Structure formats: structure tokens, C-alpha cells
Amino acid sequence: MATSAPTAVAVTVAVTAAGKNQLFLGSFVDSAKLDELRYLHDAAVAVDAAGTIVAVEQPCDEQKARLTVLPRLGWAADAVEVHVAKPGQFFFPGFIDTHLHASQYPNVGIFGKSTLLDWLNTYTFPLEASLADPSKARQVYSRVIRKTLSHGTTCAAYYATVDVASTNLLADLCVAAGQRALVGRVCMDQLSPAYYRDESPEAALAATRASIAHISAIDPELALVRPVLTPRFAPSCSAPLMRGLGALAAEMPHLPIQTHISENTNEIALVRELFPPASTGALDDSYAAVYDAFGLLTDRTILAHGVHLSEAEADLIAARRAKVSHCPCSNSAITSGAARVRWLLDKHISCGLGTDMSGGYSPSVLEAARLAALVSRHVAMGGDEKAKLSVEEVLFLATRGGADVVGLADVVGAFAVGMHWDAQLVGLGDVNADGEVEGDRDEDNNVDVFGWETWPERVAKWVYNGDDRNTKRVWVKGRLVHERK
Amino acid sequence: MATSAPTAVAVTVAVTAAGKNQLFLGSFVDSAKLDELRYLHDAAVAVDAAGTIVAVEQPCDEQKARLTVLPRLGWAADAVEVHVAKPGQFFFPGFIDTHLHASQYPNVGIFGKSTLLDWLNTYTFPLEASLADPSKARQVYSRVIRKTLSHGTTCAAYYATVDVASTNLLADLCVAAGQRALVGRVCMDQLSPAYYRDESPEAALAATRASIAHISAIDPELALVRPVLTPRFAPSCSAPLMRGLGALAAEMPHLPIQTHISENTNEIALVRELFPPASTGALDDSYAAVYDAFGLLTDRTILAHGVHLSEAEADLIAARRAKVSHCPCSNSAITSGAARVRWLLDKHISCGLGTDMSGGYSPSVLEAARLAALVSRHVAMGGDEKAKLSVEEVLFLATRGGADVVGLADVVGAFAVGMHWDAQLVGLGDVNADGEVEGDRDEDNNVDVFGWETWPERVAKWVYNGDDRNTKRVWVKGRLVHERK
């Protein structure tokens, strides 16, 4: 296999993680809770060679760290790599993209006036099918990993395609690039063109097992990359396939599950038609009940969209402790609807953000956070004033919320001892008295800071006008995986 | 006056425009009509020393241009500056920002969960008032001009503040930077804090005349910068002030007028309360009828927002041939509502796009175009499928639509003989077979082109993921006013 050589090297790199002790100094911002950011200024975070945070100290400068923190950790002073954020810069947890189709990346922005079902046939299935060509798959997957890393996405829940080899290649490339990922081979054995679907439920399950085996082999501890059971969505999976996937989910309780739910009203009608409760033994004729009937609505399940869920469905999702990936860019772009995130959160349903490329047009979780805030205001326009999501709330969804959605709540999403160092260094642009941006070419950016802003205002400016230019460096599990030149 | 010296120099620069004949070669894209872009590949556009387009030829390369176009124009071969777009790059008309508050630029992204009336008092009036400090005004206005130029905004309809001196400074700085602009001193003599309003209707009118006189002096032919009558919005203007501004509009029929209308439901209720028809002689108790009663609803009037207009108001606006500036970023951000642009267009009301900083969070008209498309889909979610705006339509609004809104339909917005060369050179990023972006550091950008896209797909990618990095060069009236390093 032509692609195995670089993979082998990459695994070594990933397993050794950063390979050195590191000390990060400066300002740190993360979510204390849903509606509150924590600002740690003049602080120090120590990260061990495995990429785990072993100390968070405040106040603490380099001198104090060397005098107190390093000795306590038993670290030799000359065996520590020190990273100091410049004034105004801050470390922020890496973003978690809880739903995106790596295979659709080349189509971002290309959707015309379509909605879900015609969008799939017109734009999506032909592109996904074409990635059975390994050189094209390598080109596209290399790019989507590099691009999302550059936007600060340290963990991505990817859908690949039906094709096993290129799905495995995506996992290989994630390991090589050092991006934490869930990688799912897409299961679909009906209602798509003959050129792009699993031949039978049995073939789909065998292909799924093959991909799980590959990913488990390249990252045996699932330290960086995990396989994820991926029934595309109910309409494209036959009942036998759904049943088989439910059995697989029970057989492999360490695996997450991802699928779509209730994105579009025509889709919902189609599910009702395809899966009458009498045939599945479902609780009722709702979309959520279909997944539940097949054992796929679990506390490991990531449900993308959930735009048009009924009260009863949301209660069922809450009862099963399944998670929701909110994809505002996609829901607006292909006119799916405006998801009621506050309503889901009030039901204690765990929510994160997804770019949902290429239903969503942007590779940026920051853009998804911005749109989540804006779409919540469109929900509020309908009369529910408290639907509005704040800057603090959308950043929670982008980090800690997303971490919980992908099953990594204890591992990433904040700066706490025992969690991994999945982080980004954020820098904004300072405007001087002449209206010029200070600093060199590296300061080219879209966020102008005049100097009189509070820290929460700086963060709001980042959320509303920031982009990948503000993400100066990105680390996953302590390893530097992206740096702006 | 400390600021007059650079102004004098700047006027000279502006009046001489480019100062040389220029030939542009490559691909040109502009709006043929509302829903159709024109693609002119392998074309040549000749621009004379005054910045006016004097020839559009296709097909035409440099050799053909030198053999046929230059002799026809009587241009010496060695007195022409030649600009060639690289393959994949294209010239596009400069964007027209039909509504923004230059004075609010430092607050972009800072609005919390506020809506219009509390947003004004909490965030906006204090900032605007602070720009009476000339050094702060210079810092802010320098930056907003530089920033909007970098995003391809060749013409901006600016609100400044109540303060005459700093409003005049904004006009000076526009002339110096070469940005085409409407510059309005804000008229407001009621319902704002005592620290920030005109002392009386008479004082407001005198201050307005003073600013008009200054701008007319620095640009006597109003070639680049024009004064614009600017009643902030009905609630902040007394009836005598509105009446005085109506008289001024009649006295100076060459001046445009700009104001806000029907942005927020509380604002509309306030207008109804403040201006009962019996007191104004208005046709009815609508917001539009108030402006009409005072002679301010004309074919030179730019109405920002128009989110909640009634059928009768829209008909009145159409009858008066007044224009609408659609500000989707603002309307979503401060939860004003979703303007029905298709409905306005169907009534033959001329519409353009406004960033409306800082109700809007972004300095980019491209972002406004993107949000116009998305917000139109939120209108469509309400059931009106044809409300959706296409990529072609939002780009029309951003250029030719905007040009008509600011009274420059014959001057800018497209590439036609007799129009001015207000243009931007757009470049996207090419991804090679390894998923790497081709080219040097300058190619750092957020739009990845894989090479198999059609031209309309490339343009869609630009609209949905593009930013100022894609705007390589910007010209106004033939003069190069921005270039990315």
C-alpha cells in the first residue's frame, strides 16, 4: 500500500507527542461554565512530555515557575521548552468541530439555492464518490486537515466516504498531521445513486469493521484518532443495516456513533415514510425514536442538526444522554431552519458546534460560533428573547461543549490539570494613534484593538471579526501542529 | 487648523486621479443584471488619466491592445501603465458600502445582547461623543478608511458624529486616502444624552451648513467626496429640525440624504408616539410618512434597514424613488429582524448593502453580501421560497445596487465605457495535488480552489469564504488606493 510508509512515521510522532516538558506563560482564557469565561492573566501552565497539563499556576511568571513549579514537578530547568504569549495574546482551548464531512471540503460555498435532499444529489454524492480515487482523496484530505488546524480545530469528528481505503487514508493523515479526530466510514445502502452506496447491509458492516480495524491498528490506544460508527442518516440506511450497526455499537461500547437528525422537513417526512413504528418497534413515529429503536440513540451518539425536533424527541434525546452538534452555517446556507439551542440546553442536552462542511460553507469553528450567536438572535426574533447566545456561550459550545459531545469532556476543552494541552495561541492587532496596525507583516489581521477595550470586549472582537490569521500557533496533546509564518 | 496641511496635498492627488493612462488585462467580472454576472475573459479595459474607462475590448491581449486599442485612443505606447491579472485572478467592481458609522468602528463586535435603543445608549453615544477629541477622531477615521479600502470598499456612505470639526476631518482623510465617500454630519437634537446632541434645531442646521461648506471647499466638483444630509433617525430629530433639513434638501438638490427607517419595533412605536400625523400633516402614522411629510423622502434618500416596513410604506418609498440600504450583519447582530429584500426588489425599490458598523460587526461588504444571502434564507424559512438571494444577486447589491443607492449608478459599479475605474483585483488560492496552497506567502488566504471549479463556483467560493486577503489591489477613479504587500 503506497500510503503506509508515511503513516508509520507519523504514528511514531504522535505516540511520542511533544516529547518534551513545556511551560506556557501569559494570559489563558477558557470556559468556567456555559455563560462565563475564566481569565487567567500572568499565569503559567506546565505540560509534560505526554502532552498532559500537570500544573496551572497564577500568578506566576517564568522566574517563579523556575523557582517553584519546576522543582515541584521534578523537571530539570534546562529540559523545559518555554513559550511566552506576547502582551495582548492569549492561549485558548483548541476548537472541537463536532460535525464535518472531510470529503465535501472542495465544495464549500457551492450549494446554490438547494436544500438538503437535492443538495445531496446535485453536489454531494458525485464529489464523495470521486474520492475513491486515492490521489484525489489525499489531496482533499490533506487540505482539509491543514485548513481546519489553521483555524484552531484541534479535534474534528469527520465523515469520510463509503470507500474504506480512502477513509483509512484520512485517519492516517490525521495521525501524521497530529490532529485529534473521530473518523467515520459512511454507511449507506439505499436511496443514493447506484454509483455511490454500500452493496448490502452485510457489505456495509464488513467495510465498517475493516475501517475500525485499520484505525485501531495505527493508533492502538486511540490516543489521537478514533473510529466512529457512521450511519449517514436514517433515509440512506436500510433497517437491516441500522440493526447491524446497533449490534456493532453494543459490541464495541468504546466507539462513538455519529449521524444526522431532523435537519430538514422533507427529510423528516421521508423518515416517517421509510420507518413506520410498526416495522421498527419504535416508541412513536418520530425521527429520534427510529435511532432509538435500533440501539443507536446512546450517550455516545452525536446527532447533527436537530433543527426541527419535537418536544418529545428532545426529551428522549435527553433521557438517552445523546449529544447534539449544532451547525448554524449549514442550517442557514441550505435553508434547513434555525435550531433552538437554548431550548436544547435547557433540557440539559449537551451541545457543541459543527462546521458541517460543505452544507456549511466555512472550515472555521469560530465562524460557526459567530453564526450560532446570530442564528440564536433569529430564534429570538420569533419572540423568545432568552434564546440569544452570548459570546461566552458560543465559545463554551466551541470548546467544552464540543468536547463533551465527542466524548472527551475530561480530556480536552479547558486548561485543567490532567487534561491534554490542545490549545491555540490567539493574537489580535493593535492599532496605534495614527490608525496604523502595530507590528510586522504577521500582524496582518481583521481584528483591530484600539487599546481601551476590556478583555471581554477583546474576546468579543475576536469572535465577530477573527479568522485564522489570529490563530498564531496550535498544539494537540502538547505537539505543535500549526504555526503561522 | 492643524489638520489642513495634509488635506491640501491630498486634494491635489485626488484631483489628478491616476495621472496616467492605464491598461488592465485579464478576466473581468461584473453584474450584467440583478441575477446575472458577466464574465469577460481575455479582455482589456483602458482607463484614461482622469480615471474614466474609455475602452472595453474582448478578446484582447496586450499585443492586440497595443496594435488596435491604443492607437484608436491616441495613446503613446510608452505612456501607458499595464496591469495584468494572473490566471485565476479577476477584476471586480469596487464595493459600495451604503451605510456605516465611521465613528463607531472601534466598537465592532461589541454589542452584547442589546437591541437598538439600549445599544445606542450603552455603547454608541459615549463612543461617538468621545470623537470630539481630534486625535482620537484621526486615529479612528484613519483606521476605518484603511480597513474598508482593504476590503475592497471603494465608496462608503459615512455617518460621522455631531461634531463638525471631526466630521470635516473624516472628509479630509477620505480625500487623502482616495476613497470615494459620502460624509454626513449627524443631526440630532433630542432624545440622546445632554452630552451628545445638537443644542437646537438652528444650531444643528448651522453645523450642517458648515460641514457642507468644508467638504465643498476641499472637493469643489464633489468628484470624490460629497456631503450628505444626515438626520440620524426620526426619534432623535425634533420636528423643527426635520423641517429645516427638508428645506435644506430642497435648497441643495445635488445633495444626497441618509437616515434610518424601521429597524426595530420599539423604535417604530417611538416614532408613532413622537410624530402623530396631525402634527406633521403626514399621509398616515407610518415611519416612512414622517420623512415624507418633512420633504426627506426623495429619490436622493438612502434609508438604512427597512426591516419592518408595511406594504403601504414600501409603496410610498417606491413612489418617491427612495433607496434602501440593507444591513444584514447589523439586523441579525442586534436582533432587529430579517429584512425582506426580495419583496423590496419586487416593488422596484433600489437596494444596496451596508455594513452598518457597529450595529454590524464587520467592515466587509463581502461579509454583508454573505449575510444577505443567509438572512434571505431565514426569510425563506418563513415560507417564501423565492426570498432566497443568489450569489449573483448579493454581488449585484454590493456593486451596481449600491451605486444606484448612493446616486452614482452612471459612475461606478460596473465596467463600462464612461464609468470610473473603481475596482478591485481578486485572487483566490490554488491547491495543488498534495493539498498544499501554491505560490508564496501572498497566497495565504481562506479560499481554496482545486482547479476543477467553474467560474461561477469560484465566485461562490469567494463570496462564502473570501476576505480582505483576496482583495489584492484596489483602485478608485483610476488611482491605486490599496495594495496587499
pLDDT digits (tens, 9 = 90+) for B216-272: 999 999 999 999 999 999 999 999 999 999 999 999 999 999 999 999 999 999 999
Between vectors from CA A446 to CA A440 and to CA B447, what angle results, nearest 5°? 100
- Region B386-408 average pLDDT: 98
Predicted confidence at residue A442, as pLDDT, reads: 46
Euclidean distance between CA atoms A46 and A70, whole angstroms: 8
DSSP H or E segment with residue A448: strand A448-449
CA distances to A55, A83, A281, A318 from A45, in Å: 6, 10, 52, 35
* Beta carbons within 8 Å of B339's beta carbon, 6+ residues apart: B305, B306, B307, B324, B326, B327, B328, B331, B375, B379
Contact A450 B140 (CB under 8 A): yes
User: B198, B187 in Cβ contact below 8 A?
Assistant: yes
Euclidean distance between CA atoms B449 and B203, whole angstroms: 56
Smallest CA-to-CA distance from A284 within A300, A297, A275 is with A275
Smallest CA-to-CA distance from A109 within A402, A334, A406 is with A334
Distance from CA of A193 to the nearest CA of B (A): 22
The architecture that CATH gives domain B13-93+414-483 is Roll (2.30)
Predicted confidence at residue B439, as pLDDT, reads: 60
Distance from CA of B390 to the nearest CA of A (A): 7
Euclidean distance between CA atoms B429 and B355, whole angstroms: 26
Strand, coil or helix: B42: strand
Predicted confidence at residue A485, as pLDDT, reads: 78
Euclidean distance between CA atoms A347 and A317, whole angstroms: 9
CA-CA-CA-CA torsion sign (A100, A103, A104, A106): positive
pLDDT band at B17; cut points 50, 70, 90? low
DSSP state of B420: B
- Whether B47 shows a pLDDT value over 60: the answer reads yes
Residue ranges of chain B that CATH labels 2.30.40.10 = 13-93+414-483
Euclidean distance between CA atoms A444 and B461, whole angstroms: 22
Please report, as a single letter, which amino acid is at residue A309: L
CB pairs < 8 Å spanning A and B: 149
Pairing of strands B257-261, A80-84: unpaired
Which of 67-86 (B) contact A at CB < 8 A?
Answer: none
Q: A377 touching B, CB under 8 A?
A: yes
Predicted confidence at residue A439, as pLDDT, reads: 60
In this structure, the number of other CB atoms found within 10 A of the CB of residue B206 comes to 15
The architecture that CATH gives domain B95-405 is Alpha-Beta Barrel (3.20)
Euclidean distance between CA atoms B294 and B281, whole angstroms: 9
User: DSSP letter string over A49-94?
Assistant: TTSBEEEEESS--HHHIIIIIHHHHT--GGGEEEEEPPTT-EEEEP
Euclidean distance between CA atoms B303 and B310, whole angstroms: 14
CA-CA-CA-CA torsion sign (A396, A398, A400, A402): positive
- Comparing CB atoms, the residue among B334, B464, B467 nearest residue A446 is B467
Euclidean distance between CA atoms A256 and A229, whole angstroms: 6
Where do the H-state alpha helices sit in A120-238? Answer: 125-130, 134-150, 164-177, 201-218
- Residue A119 is placed in which grid cell? 443538495
By percentage, how much of chain B surpasses pLDDT 70? 95
Q: What is the pLDDT along chain A (485 residues), one digit of tens a residue?
A: 333 333 333 333 343 456 899 999 999 999 999 999 999 999 999 999 999 999 999 999 999 999 999 999 999 989 999 999 999 999 999 999 999 999 999 999 999 999 999 999 999 999 999 999 999 999 999 999 999 999 999 999 999 999 999 999 999 999 999 999 999 999 999 999 999 999 999 999 999 999 999 999 999 999 999 999 999 999 999 999 999 999 999 999 999 999 999 999 999 999 999 999 999 999 999 999 999 999 999 999 999 999 999 999 999 999 999 999 999 999 999 999 999 999 999 999 999 999 999 999 999 999 999 999 999 999 999 998 999 999 999 999 999 999 999 999 999 999 999 999 999 999 998 888 888 877 644 458 999 999 999 999 999 999 999 999 999 999 999 999 999 97
Smallest CA-to-CA distance from A333 within B460, B263, B331 is with B460
With left for phi above 0 and alpha for psi between -120 and 50, is residue B249 left, alpha or beta? alpha
Instruction: Provide ipTM, 2 decimals.
Output: 0.95
Residue with cell 469520510: A160
Burial of A193 (0-12, 13-18, 19+ CB in 10 A): exposed
Q: A12 touching B, CB under 8 A?
A: no
Residue A358, preceding bond cis, omega within 30 degrees?
A: yes
- Whether B388 shows a pLDDT value over 60: the answer reads yes
Quick: pLDDT tens for A340-380. Answer: 999 999 999 999 999 999 999 999 999 999 999 999 999 99
Strand, coil or helix: A478: coil
- Whether B8 shows a pLDDT value over 60: the answer reads no
Q: B2 touching A, CB under 8 A?
A: no
Euclidean distance between CA atoms B435 and A141, whole angstroms: 8
* Beta carbons within 8 Å of A238's beta carbon, 6+ residues apart: A189, A190, A201
Average pLDDT across chain B, whole number? 94
In this structure, the number of other CB atoms found within 10 A of the CB of residue B405 comes to 31
To test the contact with chain A by mutation, choose from B115, B131, B139 the residue with the greatest count of A C-beta atoms within 10 A, namely B139
DSSP state of B320: H
Residue ranges of chain A that CATH labels 3.20.20.140 = 95-405
* Beta carbons within 8 Å of A294's beta carbon, 6+ residues apart: A239, A242, A243, A245, A246, A280
- Whether B2 shows a pLDDT value over 60: the answer reads no
Contact B390 A433 (CB under 8 A): no
Predicted confidence at residue A375, as pLDDT, reads: 98
Q: Which CATH class is domain A13-93+414-452+469-483?
A: mainly beta
Euclidean distance between CA atoms B183 and B171, whole angstroms: 6
Spell out which residues of chain B touch residue A364, defining contact as CB-CB under 8 Å: 446
Q: A398 touching B, CB under 8 A?
A: no
pLDDT band at B7; cut points 50, 70, 90? very low
* Beta carbons within 8 Å of A345's beta carbon, 6+ residues apart: A34, A351
User: DSSP letter string over B350-389?
Assistant: -EEE---BTTB--S-HHHHHHHHHHHHHHHHHTT-GGGPP
In this structure, the number of other CB atoms found within 10 A of the CB of residue B417 comes to 11
- Whether B195 shows a pLDDT value over 70: the answer reads yes
Name beta bridge partners: A22.
Answer: A47, A81
Smallest CA-to-CA distance from A154 within A185, A184, A178, A183 is with A178
Spell out which residues of chain B touch residue A134, defining contact as CB-CB under 8 Å: none
- Whether B467 shows a pLDDT value over 90: the answer reads yes
Residue ranges of chain A that CATH labels 2.30.40.10 = 13-93+414-452+469-483
- Residue B43 is placed in which grid cell? 479582455
Smallest CA-to-CA distance from A92 within A465, A485, A418, A463 is with A463
Predicted confidence at residue A17, as pLDDT, reads: 52
Residue A59, preceding bond cis, omega within 30 degrees?
A: yes
Spell out which residues of chain B touch residue A372, defining contact as CB-CB under 8 Å: none
- Region B39-53 average pLDDT: 98
Smallest CA-to-CA distance from B83 within B417, B473, B477, B485 is with B473
Which of 115-154 (A) contact B at CB < 8 A?
Answer: 135, 138-143, 146-147
Between vectors from CA B480 to CA B474 and to CA B485, what angle results, nearest 5°? 70
User: How many helices, marked H, and strands, marked E, lie in chain B?
Assistant: 19, 18
- Region B289-304 average pLDDT: 98
Catalogue the E-assigned strands of A153-300: 153-159, 180-184, 225-227, 257-261
- Region B471-485 average pLDDT: 95
CA distances to A351, A408, B232 from B168, in Å: 50, 56, 17
CA distances to A470, B191, B234, B285 from B274, in Å: 46, 11, 9, 10
Contact A142 B434 (CB under 8 A): yes
- Residue B54 is placed in which grid cell? 474609455
- Region B13-34 average pLDDT: 83
Q: B450 touching A, CB under 8 A?
A: yes
- Sheet containing strand A153-159, edge to edge, reads A95-101, A153-159, A180-184, A225-227
